[in-house]
Amino acid sequence: MVVKNIAVLFSGSGSNLQAILEKIHNKIFNGVKIKVALLICNNPNAKGIKRAKKFGLETIVINHRDYDSREEFDQALVDEIKKHDIDLSVLAGFMRILTPVFTDNIKAINLHPSILPLFKGANAINESYNSDMKIGGVSVHWVSSQLDSGEIIAQKSFARKHKSLKEWEEKIHKIEHKLLPKTIIEILAKGK
Ligand code: GRF
């Protein structure tokens, strides 16, 4: 049995981490078993840490506040990931800007709550909602040294019939929880 190990990096609520754990962790796709082998969080108070515990998984906390520079923090992430036999790292709500120390050394994908290349950065949900776009959406892309700019792997859009910001946000998360696990399967088990 081929086993592919993933690392999941997160910062907060961890609902996407939970979707990964529910939908693909220790499951077999196309003869490939996908295993969440490493969890890293930069925020010791993140709700995601508790969610992971419910699945019997411990999270390694690497707090960015303990490091003097982005590069030193990134090196700590790289060192941890390299200790494990990781095939793919998944940024699932990991709210740190990464330097080439990370991006040149780690094969990673990122989840972003907009139709890239529109609305890069940390306020994508609000900015897309407040725009006059008739659609919103979600992207998964390869991580590169430019924020939210690596090659797009998957996107899913929805029509603007969601009136409130809350509905807009809920729709985005609902799509994210399907699109990210599906994309991981496609990369690791279908060779896309
Ligand atoms: C998601 O909307 C993701 O696109 C963004 O941060 C959010 C993380 O949510 N980068 P959660 O922590 O997975 O619940």
Question: Domains in the chain and their CATH numbers?
Answer: 2-189 (3.40.50.170)
Residue nearest atom 2 in ligand 1 by C-alpha distance: 113
**What is the whole-number distance in angstroms between the Cα of residue 92 and the centre of ligand 1?**
6
Q: What is the mean pLDDT of residues 157-168?
A: 91
Q: What is the mean pLDDT of residues 178-192?
A: 92
Q: How far is CA 107 from CA 148, 158, 168, in A?
A: 15, 29, 31
Dist. CA 80–CA 57, nearest whole Å: 16
Paired tokens of 38: 């490493």
Dist. CA 58–CA 117, nearest whole Å: 34
- What was the pLDDT predicted at 108? 98
Q: 93 in ligand 1 pocket by Cβ < 6 Å? A: yes
Q: What is the mean pLDDT of residues 14-22?
A: 98
3-state secondary structure of 50: helix
Q: 180 in ligand 1 pocket by Cβ < 6 Å? A: no
Closest Cα to residue 5, out of 105, 116, 89, 64?
89
Closest Cα to residue 34, out of 108, 105, 88?
88
112 is catalytic: yes
DSSP string, 88-120: EEEESS---PPPHHHHTT--EEEEESSSTTSS-
Does the annotation list 15 as a binding residue? yes
Largest CA distance in the chain: 49
Percentage of the chain exceeding pLDDT 70: 99
Percentage of the chain exceeding pLDDT 90: 96
pLDDT averaged over every residue in the chain: 96
Is the pLDDT at 162 greater than 90? The verdict is: no
Contact (CB, 8 A) for 25 and 35: yes
Dist. CA 111–CA 55, nearest whole Å: 22
Contact (CB, 8 A) for 121 and 147: yes
User: pLDDT tier at 191 (50, 70, 90 boundaries)?
Assistant: confident
pTM beyond 0.85: the answer is yes
**What is the whole-number distance in angstroms between the Cα of residue 104 and the centre of ligand 1?**
23
3-state secondary structure of 42: coil
User: pLDDT tier at 1 (50, 70, 90 boundaries)?
Assistant: confident
Catalytic residue among 25, 64, 84, 112: 112
- What was the pLDDT predicted at 192? 60
Residue 117: cis peptide before it, omega within 30 degrees of 0:
yes
**What is the whole-number distance in angstroms between the Cα of residue 16 and the centre of ligand 1?**
7
Q: pLDDT tens for residues 84-128?
A: 999 999 999 999 999 999 999 999 999 999 999 999 999 999 999
